[in-house]
Amino acid sequence: MNFELSEEHRMIRDAAREFAEELKKDVIERDEKALFPTDFVKKMGELGFMGIMTSDQYGGAGMDSLAYVLALEEIAKVDASTAVIMSAHNSLVLWGLEAYGSEEQKQKYLIPLAKGEKLGAFALSEPEAGSDASSQHTIAADMGDHYLLNGTKNWITNGGNADIYLVIAQTHPELGHKGINVLIVEKGTAGFTIGPKENKLGIRSSDTHSLLFTDVIVPKENRIGEDGFGFKFAMMTLDGGRIGIAAQALGIAAGAYDLALAYAKERKTFGKPISTHQAIQFKLADMEVEIEAARLLTHKAAWTKDQGLPYGKEAAMAKLHASEVAMKHTVEAVQIHGGYGYVKEYHVERLMRDAKITQIYEGTSEIQRLVIAREVLR
């Protein structure tokens, strides 16, 4: 068992770390004003991060899942908003298109998405159903040569800035989850309206919108997979998405730890750095241990996926632990900073706000425990 990164993986990590330094200069302003990082998303496309796991045959970088989580961690250390844009695009859109899309769909949609020329969004959540893919009220009525799409999607990452949307919808209600399909819908299609931008607690410079579909005509050739494949598509996509969220949470926690450690060495009380006080040392030790455990779980989940092995449990474990570590230790980072931690200049209050969403999206911590328990009890 080798825990050393390959030279290629180190290069990806270092490139992402260098890019993250560029993100720092305006990150507070983007957070305050909820500004979408358009130029940085374009730069991620140029660096290959927006198609990092997609094969070079379709315009991607052809890297593995481990490279993906290494890059995500470094970006999330500085700006979780930019990290979630990259994550949703790669995990929830490109992976599914490459794995299950037709050759025509790959040529038309996957290539520009993988090159970073276009942005993708995954539309699953609804007002009455978060990540419950089996409970779809959005209807895609089969009209022969096309579907007629009607319904509403909520909490869609990249919702306002995306060009291509993968929409999960019910076609055969009498079949339950076996009657669900996934459709490719382009921005600008008649009847497709983007709702107002959500004013969020954290990840504020990523855009989150509701989507409204009113008699939207979707050609049959825009369905991914066979009729009724949508539920299975969503479940497998969410498993990969959880690895991406684990990497985001890991990055948020690690970024907060780095800031807390540096501050503890610099800040003095009673004539000596606070890092010499045992109470602070215990906090830093716990942060180091739990963040490293989250990193190992996340890397194992990525490795398991890359081996072609079942990875649902590993993804859920990584997501569960990393998100709880992110929330716990961003709070500790604020505590170590004292009053300074409560102001924006020191970044840790933003990381604390960003951490919370990692416990919520792609299924709450309670859902992850259910996924893990089912696998354990099987």
Which residues are catalytic, by number? 362
For residue 192, the SS3 value is: strand
Q: Which bin fits 271, alpha (ψ -120 to 50), beta or left (φ > 0)?
A: left
180-213 core/surface letters (b: 16 or more CB in 10 A; e: else): bbbbbbebeeeebebeeebebebbbbbbbbbbbb
Cα–Cα distance for residue pair 18/234, rounded to 1 Å: 34
Tell me if 335 sits within 8 A of 283, measured CB to CB: yes
DSSP symbol at 198? P
Tell me if 151 sits within 8 A of 122, measured CB to CB: no
In DSSP notation, 110-172 reads IHHHHTTSS-EEEE--BTTBSS-TT----EEEE-SSEEEEEEEEEEEETTTT-SEEEEEEES-
Neighbours of 11 (CB within 10 A): 13
Residue 307: CA atoms inside 13 Å, Cβ hemisphere, count? 10
CA 188 to chain centre: 25
- Name the token pair of 133: 């893919």
**Phi and psi at residue 359, in whole multiples of 5°?**
-85, -5
Q: Are strands 120-123 and 164-170 parallel, antiparallel or unpaired?
A: parallel
Tell me if 158 sits within 8 A of 152, measured CB to CB: no
Maximum distance among all Cα pairs of the chain, rounded to whole angstroms: 78
Tell me if 137 sits within 8 A of 129, measured CB to CB: yes
Task: Give helix 230-266 / helix 80-87 axis angle, nearest 10°.
Answer: 160
